[in-house]
Amino acid sequence: MSNDPHRTSSDPTTGESRRGRRDQDRSRDRVRLATSRRPFIERHRSLVLGLVAVAAVAVVGGFVFVQATTKAYACSNLTAPAPAATPLANGSPGPLGQVQPDMGTNHVADGTFVRYSNCPPASGGHYSSTLGPIEPRYYGPDDATVPQGWLHNLEHGGLVVLYSCDNGGCGEGDQQALRDLFQAFPDSPLCAIPKGTIGPVITRSEEMRTPFAALVWGRVILQDKLDTAAILEFFRTQGELRNPEPQCPRPTPTPAPTTPPSTAPSPAASPSPS
């Protein structure tokens, strides 16, 4: 018997079986060769698609995290409490609060980063959309608001009251007093706009030097200790006087009284002694 492996057996069936196996082996070799010549991406399509999906999720998640942790505004300066107002000429105390330099009235697109020269800002760039004015209500320490929203409330004559947890303004007694302030808030002093229409907004802000502050457009009162009576008086006397979009006609200022000219004869007109 020959030992030649390529020689077919005399048994036709056995020979056909061996030829079939050789044909199958050649076919598999051709498939492996063709597969090895396909591009890497095509050969590992499922793996590549899976990696792309994971990367996309990571990028989107990172973007959302950055958006959530990056502030939408910044402050160049924190307003310091001004000395007590100088009494008026008639002896009565001066107006409550202090003037803050004007930072403009620009309406900005939603999500726009704004840098304020002074904080807490009583003017400056703000949203004019569903993001501002914001709903007038009490906002808890974990409720996020930004000046771009509530500055639009000020623009229409509303009052904004701010508290700082970092400065000690989040004690339960003070928080309850702020909730009570909202519930008992009066109509606006000039236009008689009901509570909850445009103000007050009571919300947290850490960009200030004191535990509490109250703002109308262009003017701010800073408090080391919460004084809701002073805040109400501040709004009664200073509210709706300067906001760029008044909701009703403002009263005409009463002109200051003038001293009438004297009718006594001048020395030159007096008769000369005889």
Whether the CA torsion 153, 157, 161, 162 is positive or negative: it is: positive
- Please name which of 78, 72, 169, 168 lies closest in space to residue 121, comparing C-alpha atoms: 78
What pLDDT does 271 receive? 47
Whether the CA torsion 121, 242, 214, 152 is positive or negative: it is: negative
What pLDDT does 153 receive? 98
What pLDDT does 83 receive? 82
What pLDDT does 7 receive? 52
Question: What tokens were used for 103?
Answer: 């930072």
- Please name which of 46, 82, 14, 62 lies closest in space to residue 219, comparing C-alpha atoms: 82
Question: What tokens were used for 148?
Answer: 């771009």
CB 144 within 8 A of CB 67: no
CB 211 within 8 A of CB 224: yes
What pLDDT does 257 receive? 61
Question: What tokens were used for 132?
Answer: 């501002």
pLDDT tens for the chain, 274 residues: list them: 555 555 545 555 566 667 767 777 777 767 666 655 556 666 666 776 666 565 554 444 443 333 444 679 999 999 999 887 667 677 677 899 999 999 999 999 999 999 999 999 999 999 999 999 999 999 999 998 999 999 999 999 999 999 999 999 999 999 999 999 999 999 999 999 999 999 999 999 999 999 999 999 999 999 999 999 999 999 999 999 999 999 999 988 766 666 565 555 555 444 444 4
Please confirm whether the linkage preceding 200 is cis (ω < 30° from 0). yes
What pLDDT does 28 receive? 72
Q: Where are the domains of the chain?
A: 21-68, 73-82+94-238
